[in-house]
A and B are shown apart, each in its own frame.
Chain A
Amino acid sequence: MSTRGKISGNTPNPFASRRGLNQFNNRLFTLLVWVVGICTVLFICGLLFLILQKGLPKLEWSFLSGLPSEIEEGGGIGPTLFNSIYVLVISLVISIPLGMAAGIYLAEFAPDNKFIAFVRICVEGLASVPSIIFGLFGIAIFVEAFQIGLTILGGAVSLAFLNLPVLTRVTEEAIRAVPIEMKNASFALGGTHLQTILRVLIPVSLNSIITGICLVAGRAFGESAVIILTAGVTTSGEMWDFSLFSPGETLAVHLWYVQSEAIVPDATEIAEKAAAVLVFVVLLINVIFRVPLWLNARKTRV
């Protein structure tokens, strides 16, 4: 009836159809992202739940701290859990300072030339080399060159090598991502390069660096190939053995060992419980490394 309706009825609106199509695509895409996102999250949560639900209810203190047994039922994971944490801590103590230093060097000091570009490609390549290669490297150094056999030291240092390229890369990227304006502000106030790095660049990029550290720590905690080759599949059989030269079977390796090699009757149960502990500790590591970030954030808000 109205002229308005007539006009739009007779002359096709040039914007309407395209808009409709775009709108449709937009909705479809949004839906797709949601569905895929929810599926992924459900899958991950389900996986976590399955692992934890199988193992956690059966956990007792005696399992966590007990010695493993070779033949009878009821062996614990005490020494292997201890080794896992001990090896992880040593490897991080070695790799975090070195990796961060290398990353800061590449981001802040390295000249812009072909050689450094080549170094960067190498670091990137090393970051994706299969871990077993680092295990072989560890054997070549510790077992063959130094002749110290399969030890915690060898395992920890090999793990540190494994993590070094990733940490270097992550640190470099994080430092580079800090806006140049912030660097300029610090320099303009009379800050030296070192002061600027310590007081601006690192704090600002800490979030990304810590995410990187969490990733490598989780990977190192669950790593088995490197440990089997450099630290062995046995422990010294004692609890709290801090000797760097003891054999250093870790929890992840023990898990593999009981499932594939061991002859204990309760192998499956041990594996389930060990898996739950493994996952739980990895989650814990992530929480622990975030604490400095929370403290940092608390300082600026209030």
Chain B
Amino acid sequence: MGTLIDIQSLNLYYGTFHALKDVSMDIPEKAITAFIGPSGCGKSTLLRTLNRMNDMIPGTRIEGQIAVGGTDIYSREVDVETLRKKVGMVFQQPNPFPKSIYDNVAYGPRLHGIRSKGKLDEIVETSLRSAALWGEVKDHLKRSALSLSGGQQQRLCIARALAVNPDILLMDEATSALDPISTLKIEELAQDLKDRYTIVMVTHNMHQAARVSNQTVFFLNGEVVEYSDTEKLFSNPRDQRTEDYISGRFG
């Protein structure tokens, strides 16, 4: 497994607040990397630096380097839209557009200039299949996405993200608004997808991290405390703070 995302001495400030402190890590490709840590420790912030969604928050300042596939994504030549096409994101709350199921999935490809009906049909079908939703919705693609259940909506959002053919999929607590069955479905889905995509997920659920991820990063107050193979981190943590956290003693 090669490294796909290479983060070096990253510091991020929201105004004067120092949210990420000297973060460095290598995220391997075609694997699932989980970010865990107590609320407010900067997991979402780090995730948003990877597709530059932080750019839209006024007063954010970044130091250090993030390279994706060897390219510094904060360099001048980088086109943010192209970057976001390659680095998809799934949010905590399912956020489908109030459009049809079809139009939701086709939204991204259309943004990037795909007009042909046949091509769009094909993309919509493969994306929905990849997101394990095709069977449930194939007969009513024209129905409003808002008529789906929460779990289905979240899988639709995953399909929508896959439709632009990204290399990386960022999932920010993508299952925290869902029931256990939907959560399980999405976890299985992540397992399937990791053969083709590099997945970075934030989760509050330690069992989830332990179940699905290959690597786990534990954060505390904007710093990386421990980063290792998931199995090792949960069975034999190096740092006392990690052990306290995973055994539920704080956080």
Identify the A interface with B (CB < 8 A).
Answer: 112, 179, 181-182, 184-192, 195, 199-200, 203-204, 299-302
Contact = CB atoms under 8 A, between A and B. Distances in A.
B143 A190 contact: no
B97 A302 contact: no
Contacts of B142: 299-302
Contacts of A302: 140, 142-143
Contact of A184 (B53, B110, B111): B53
Given A189-B164, A190-B81, A190-B164, A200 B88 contact: no
A188 B88 contact: yes
A6 to B, nearest CB: 47
A188 B84 contact: yes
A189 B161 contact: yes
Contact of B111 (A182, A199, A203, A300): A199
Interface of B: 51, 53, 56, 58, 81-85, 88-89, 91, 93, 95-100, 103, 107-108, 110-112, 140, 142-144, 157, 160-161, 164
Contact of B91 (A181, A195, A200, A300): A181
Contacts, number: 73
Contacts of B81: 190-192
A179 to B, nearest CB: 7
B89 A190 contact: no
Contacts of A204: 97-98
5 contacts: A181-B93, A188-B161, A189-B108, A300-B99, A302-B143
Contact of A189 (B96, B99, B103, B111): B111
A186 B82 contact: no
B84 A189 contact: yes
A190 B112 contact: yes
B91 A189 contact: no
A301 B102 CA distance: 12
Contact of A190 (B84, B93, B140, B157): B84
Contact of B108 (A190, A192, A203): A190
Nearest to A302: B142
Contacts of B58: 112
Nearest to A185: B95
Given A189-B88, A189-B107, A199-B110, 8 more contacts: A181-B91, A184-B95, A186-B97, A189-B84, A189-B108, A203-B99, A204-B97, A302-B143
A137 to B, nearest CB: 37
Contacts of A179: 95
Nearest to A204: B98
A302 B157 CA distance: 21
Contacts of B88: 188-189
Contacts of B111: 186, 189-191, 195, 199
A182 B85 contact: no
Contacts of A190: 81-85, 108, 111-112, 164
A181 B164 contact: no
Contacts of A192: 81
A185 B100 contact: no
A185 B96 CA distance: 8
Q: Which 7 residue pairs across A and B have the least CB separation, nearest first?
A: A190-B85, A181-B95, A189-B108, A188-B89, A190-B84, A300-B144, A302-B142
Given A191-B81, A192-B81, A186 B107 contact: yes
A294 to B, nearest CB: 15
Nearest to A299: B100
A62 B91 CA distance: 63
Contacts of B51: 188
A179 B110 CA distance: 22
A259 to B, nearest CB: 48
A185 B157 contact: yes
A188 B107 CA distance: 12
B114 to A, nearest CB: 12
A84 B100 CA distance: 39
Contacts of B112: 190
A199 B164 contact: no
A191 B91 CA distance: 16
Nearest to B109: A189
Contacts of B93: 181
A214 B108 CA distance: 33
Nearest to B101: A300
A199 B161 CA distance: 17
B140 to A, nearest CB: 8
B166 to A, nearest CB: 9
A294 B231 CA distance: 55
A195 B110 CA distance: 10
A265 B53 CA distance: 72
Nearest to B92: A181
Nearest to B144: A300
A185 B107 CA distance: 10
A185 B112 CA distance: 15
Contact of A187 (B84, B98, B144, B157): B84
Nearest to B55: A187
Which of B53, B81, B83, B112 has most chain A Cβ within 10 Å? B81
